[in-house]
Structure 1
């Protein structure tokens, strides 16, 4: 196969450094309160458009050394398997972090970035909770210790008493856990069952001391008032907001999710308070008695066992950032003059492994995490089980709109897994040696973008559908405009939306190539053991590059294809475009 190798521009140059001398994030004043407590104004001040004070790095003086609908789009190899020689097409060198990392400014909060640790103490390498004034309103997470009292014993007092009961003896059973959870969730005494948890406790005796781990988890959950001393804003639609937490704070929140302590989060029906948010309490997972759930619980118990041991608990930070662009920033696709960027196609290997150091795409559901706490077990859910810190995003992230994505920076991988869907198994512990940036976040950045679920696959071949997918990919791929392109890693992606969502792999590949071109980022594309697709994709990319195809021209060709497919016997989009190019002077 003829290879068309596109020259790779050197990065980290003096020219790139000069370009980045733009306005950085505003500095914190003497009080962290003044810059992050005024949450009541956040929603209206950050509506529609980019945040006024986005998280930005400092100038590059040096590089740092250090029932959800989900989709099945890849298959799984053994842990440690890598793309084999000959399984990669396209020889462009793709940028990765930390090699292309631009040094960050000091960590500090602003109106669009809530930091739940004390940033002044962080400068002295201490991670301690930041103290603020808790609130109970529709703009923030309603935390269990602050549930308004309306009875003789507060809900949190009942929760404390129940969880302390799980710490009084070593022989704690699933029945004890069930009884404790139902103590403060009495409305669900009859409709919640714990069959899956009971099966797990029985079947996993050889690998987990169930009673010991429950003891440690209960102790961790009870530390919530100590570890979370500042209100957590909800990442609402049409708002550019970010939250940075410590990994210990995340583990505490997830321990509370396990014990189902979060109030107002058990009802998800239309019209309920959190109907537009994912579930966070683990009650549904405990009831789903199946091989899938058993494997999920293996991964989750390994995580909790790791984070509750002094020798293995993590000590870094993680940032969750909701990004929204306004209609004035939508690209006019038919007028874009950018040429396609570099493409490297892998017919095996994985986004999270071979794509390490790149911006890694989560083939997300619009409710983040999809069915990770239910029956779902495909690309997104598997990633959330390998990196359970991702699950905490369900606590505060509202359903994603078409012009939004969620970007997560710094999560740790705890587990190796095998298989996919019904063949999925938890395999073994994973030791994550990924380096950390100046904010003590691992060099792991994931972007959650949700594809359209096409119940009728023909519906994707319309201008409206193509523009929607282009916009969603673009908002996910788009980088902070204040960061020079030389410091922007490539994107690791694949057959986004091409499983149960019925997306056409060829069309989705072209859409992602176009969005990446406008975002000025290279692509690593994983076809998950489909060698034929890999070869066809690389040939198409080479053809488009040889003919200097712009995004605008390619967009118009796609519109022509949509019109053609409505009136003629449909040929695949690659073949149609190839014939058009070869028969004209495009």
Structure 2
């Protein structure tokens, strides 16, 4: 049985922007029993006040935090020394210091004089803001909780705890939610990346304290969607849909659900050296960092979805050249943006001689199910899905294959698809493929059959060339 666990003042209501999360009512024997927050349970988030969760007792930690009349940057360093945060290797928290020195003085001063104090205060109120642990989103949980709702205030409290090194380690199959890992670094090259990531966090924390109470009570929903039964792809008769194209980054399209080219362990290298599509999307939408606390390693048939996370920043560059940029117009962004993030991990074919495996039936089916888990969101029929070259970078996926698979799933799910930032040749190939599908009335089932035939044969031509040959040959008859 699947349940939704709504934690917060109120559930989400239906809207055109995101799926609704409503409380589900079951008989008493089917209700998840909420544990006493003093006890540890492997099916629930371990919070700082959970008994024996941290090296030092929670009352001692809160007593120390409360002893500072005004919680300053110097106090933060003293606090780290007191609790002995292993992730903060340098007493000088050099990445935080550099980030503050490089930010606009107004934003840096605000963080040091107002925001840190508010973060400390919310940590002290954690037991009131979050009264009890909530379920983890994991496939192994007996009750199979698939959806968690948290208010923005609850998220801010968790983010503040993580920044202060107060989030305990969770189960082994979950990412580490320790924002304090970004605050210091001995390696000079990695420190340049981390100090930029710290700027994203500072922007989020500063923006939060400016927001109204009504914004603080808004809900963000974290969801895992697992597909136990896949469509019969061979017998699907839907026509392949026609996508649209855009030159902008996926996150710059305000009107579509955004695909995160994810790692199976949600977040990838967001708290380390990683500065690629998944990590950058999460940094721009920092409330999605709480997914590190909630999402188990994604199964082969699962996708992670986040509804309602707000964008707080932009970036320039990529990888080692990535730079934080302030969001140009947050009000317009908030007013019109479709706030849905969909994380789907692609298979890795980067090993030598491994690229041809992606055309085999088992691999094709695996990628189709993964896309299906992400695209088949509830109550979002009118939403355009913004995507791109999923799994085609370091994982060495074939773009023509990944393009076809995404089009097939979008057609079955009746979703509009928008491809972003395709290079000229890739764009031309994609347009030719799509015109070929449209002119010849190619169905999902027919394209699926062609792809499997290609997987069984000799690879003396590209998939693109093979599809074109098969369609034109069929049309000639």
**TM-score band (shorter)?**
0.7 to 0.9
Unaligned runs of 5+ in 2: 28-33
Instruction: Give, in angstroms, the shift of residue 211 of structure 1.
Output: 2.8
Match of 2:44 among 122, 140, 145: 140
Match of 2:344 among 423, 426, 449: 449
Match of 1:247 among 152, 158, 163: 152
Q: Distance in 2 between matches of 1:537 and 1:434?
A: 30
Q: Distance in 1 between matches of 2:372 and 2:234?
A: 15
**Retained in 2: the 8 A contact 1:412–1:432?**
no
**Residues 1:230 and 1:366: Cα distance change in structure 2 (over 3 Å):** same
Match of 2:222 among 304, 315, 320: 320
Q: Distance in 1 between matches of 2:252 and 2:371?
A: 21
Which residue of structure 2 lines up, in the alignment, with residue 510 of structure 1? 404
1:423 maps onto 2:321 in alignment: yes
Which residue of structure 2 lines up, in the alignment, with residue 578 of structure 1? 468
Instruction: Give, in angstroms, the shift of residue 466 of structure 1.
Output: 1.3
Q: Distance in 1 between matches of 2:309 and 2:241?
A: 28
Instruction: Give, in angstroms, the shift of residue 186 of structure 1.
Output: 6.2
Which residue of structure 1 lines up, in the alignment, with residue 163 of structure 2? 258
Which residue of structure 2 lines up, in the alignment, with residue 155 of structure 1? 57
Q: Which moved more, 1:532-541 or 1:140-149?
A: 140-149
Which residue of structure 1 lines up, in the alignment, with residue 80 of structure 2? 181
Unaligned runs of 5+ in 1: 1-44, 59-63, 65-96, 113-130, 266-273
Instruction: Give, in angstroms, the shift of residue 204 of structure 1.
Output: 4.1
Which residue of structure 1 lines up, in the alignment, with residue 172 of structure 2? 275
Q: Distance in 2 between matches of 1:253 and 1:531?
A: 43
Q: Distance in 2 between matches of 1:189 and 1:435?
A: 34
Which residue of structure 1 lines up, in the alignment, with residue 120 of structure 2? 218
Q: Distance in 2 between matches of 1:520 and 1:429?
A: 32
Instruction: Give, in angstroms, the shift of residue 433 of structure 1.
Output: 3.7
Instruction: Give, in angstroms, the shift of residue 247 of structure 1.
Output: 0.8
1:232 maps onto 2:166 in alignment: no
**Retained in 2: the 8 A contact 1:325–1:403?**
yes
Q: Distance in 1 between matches of 2:341 and 2:89?
A: 39
Q: Where in structure 2 are the equivalents of 1:77-116 lying within 5 Å?
A: 97-98=16-17, 107-108=22-23, 110=25
Q: Which moved more, 1:209-218 or 1:251-260?
A: 209-218
Instruction: Give, in angstroms, the shift of residue 406 of structure 1.
Output: 1.2
1:462 maps onto 2:355 in alignment: no
The superposition leaves residues 151-186 of structure 1 with CA deviations (integer Å, 9 ceiling, x where unpaired) of: 9xx621222134335x4347533xx43441343346
Instruction: Give, in angstroms, the shift of residue 519 of structure 1.
Output: 1.3
1:491 maps onto 2:385 in alignment: yes
**Retained in 1: the 8 A contact 2:169–2:176?**
no
Which residue of structure 2 lines up, in the alignment, with residue 538 of structure 1? 431
**Residues 1:401 and 1:169: Cα distance change in structure 2 (over 3 Å):** same
Instruction: Give, in angstroms, the shift of residue 190 of structure 1.
Output: 7.0
Q: Distance in 2 between matches of 1:192 and 1:351?
A: 38
**Retained in 1: the 8 A contact 2:4–2:148?**
no
Which residue of structure 2 lines up, in the alignment, with residue 123 of structure 1? none
**Residues 1:472 and 1:193: Cα distance change in structure 2 (over 3 Å):** farther
State the TM-score, normalized to the length of structure 1.
0.70
Instruction: Give, in angstroms, the shift of residue 388 of structure 1.
Output: 0.3
Match of 2:276 among 372, 378, 384: 378
Q: Distance in 2 between matches of 1:386 and 1:187?
A: 27
Which residue of structure 1 lines up, in the alignment, with residue 108 of structure 2? 208
Greater RCO (Cα-Cα under 8 Å, separation 6 or more): 1
**Retained in 2: the 8 A contact 1:405–1:448?**
yes
